[in-house]
Amino acid sequence: MLLFAAVAAVACSQQQGWETAEAVVAPGERLSLAENYVRAYTDLVADITGDFKGVSIERGGLGVYQGAVLKITGDSVFVSEYCWYEETEVTQVIAREAFAHGLSLGDKVKVSLTTEKHNIIGHLDIRSGRDHLSRDIFWRGGGIPAIVNEGDSPLSVRLSFRRRDASQPIWFLADSYFSEYDPERWPYYMVSEGFAEGWMADHLPGGGSAQFLRCFKEDLKYGTPKIAVWMLGMNDPDRDGMLNEDWYSSTEEFLQICSDKGIIPVLVTVPDVPARCHSIKTEWVRNSGVRYADWAAAVEGMEWLSGDEVHPSEDGAKILWETLRNALPELKR
């Protein structure tokens, strides 16, 4: 169990952009930061003191789609990811890579994991005394940053996380329609057309409105955008002719936060798909008086879905991007 006094020593710094927690972590226990799914331009740093036998550093963790785990033992590094398997309908762990680190890890170890933009690569740096490892690894993890003590003795840990893009003028809050490296997702075309900078994305496949309202509030501790684009709703379908209450209450609160902080909100209309109805949300958005990108109108009557009948095809993704680009002229190359 974490010592109570140590748990209380959690500090957040908006000025520096770092969220930090410090604690003595017992064997098998974890130290966690706040939930967010910002994946690009991030820094995750663990300063560890004690009898080092092994730790796991996570984004997301068990059951979080595209959550990732970096496990470091006395002699090796293991990188795993949680992926959805349609055959079993369960999110399962898949090993991505493993290698010997060749380091002599003493009683002071520093682990840094840095991500850039537009890829699925993280840069790993491990330091202990004069020993040092630096290399790229597979990493696209999003979710709660955390560290788990995998050894048999308590460790003193300082865990820090930073969103380097929190100062950007445009933020996207999105679900599985957002991916910069998949041609069946609209951001792929945004990046390929040169709109690669000037924005931050907090996004999760399967993400819902209530969840991302929490994430938006956390993100705002470290920056304030000029424009926030609320792209949620596909996972909050309308039912029985009624507006989805989670989506409605979360969207209303999102709009109020934007008003209070002088942020320009931008909404999207969510197109209907065979198993999910969004037409009531669409009418609410169109009548809200808020700027929006009308995705529903853009794809109406068109063959725009991929084979899973939820996500766009390449042609559909292009249509969504063109519609958003026209609604968001503030995007700059």
The CATH number of the domain where 240 resides is what? 3.40.50.1110
Q: Taking the C-alpha atoms of 54, 58, 61 and 64 in order, what is their torsion angle to the nearest 10 degrees?
A: -160
- Provide, rounded to the nearest whole percent, the portion of the chain with pLDDT above 70: 92
Sheet strands side by side (includes 108-115)? 10-13, 18-25, 155-163, 42-50, 108-115, 121-128, 131-138
- pLDDT one-digit tens code per residue, 49-80: 999 999 999 998 666 788 899 999 999 999 99
Whether residues 209 and 260 fall in one domain:
yes
Band (pLDDT 50/70/90 cuts) for residue 9 is very low
For residue 7, give both structure tokens.
Answer: 């748990």
pLDDT, residue 117, reads 85
Band (pLDDT 50/70/90 cuts) for residue 84 is low
Residue 272: DSSP 8-state = P
The CATH number of the domain where 72 resides is what? 2.60.120.560
Whether residues 76 and 110 fall in one domain:
yes
pLDDT, residue 288, reads 98
pLDDT, residue 89, reads 55
pLDDT, residue 92, reads 77
Band (pLDDT 50/70/90 cuts) for residue 8 is very low
Whether residues 68 and 206 fall in one domain:
no
Q: For the whole model, what pTM was predicted?
A: 0.92
- For 12-41, what is the mean pLDDT? 89
Per the prediction, the chain carries an average pLDDT of: 92
Residues 11/20, Cβ–Cβ less than 8 Å: yes
Residues 64/73, Cβ–Cβ less than 8 Å: no
Residue 109 structural domain: 4-163
Does residue 7 have a pLDDT over 50?
A: no
- pLDDT one-digit tens code per residue, 143-194: 999 999 999 999 999 999 999 999 999 999 999 999 999 999 999 999 999 9
Whether residues 136 and 177 fall in one domain:
no
Helix axes 209-219, 245-261, angle to 10 degrees: 20
**Beta partners for residue 80, in sequence order:** 69, 95
Domain count, the chain: 2
pLDDT, residue 85, reads 56
Does residue 326 have a pLDDT over 70?
A: yes
Whether residues 142 and 250 fall in one domain:
no
Q: Is residue 332 part of a domain?
A: no
For residue 293, give both structure tokens.
Answer: 């990108």
Band (pLDDT 50/70/90 cuts) for residue 11 is very low
Q: Is residue 333 part of a domain?
A: no
Whether residues 229 and 246 fall in one domain:
yes
Whether residues 248 and 276 fall in one domain:
yes
DSSP H/E element including 83: strand 76-85
CA-to-CA separations, 271 to 63, 258, 285, in angstroms, rounded: 28, 24, 12
pLDDT, residue 86, reads 54
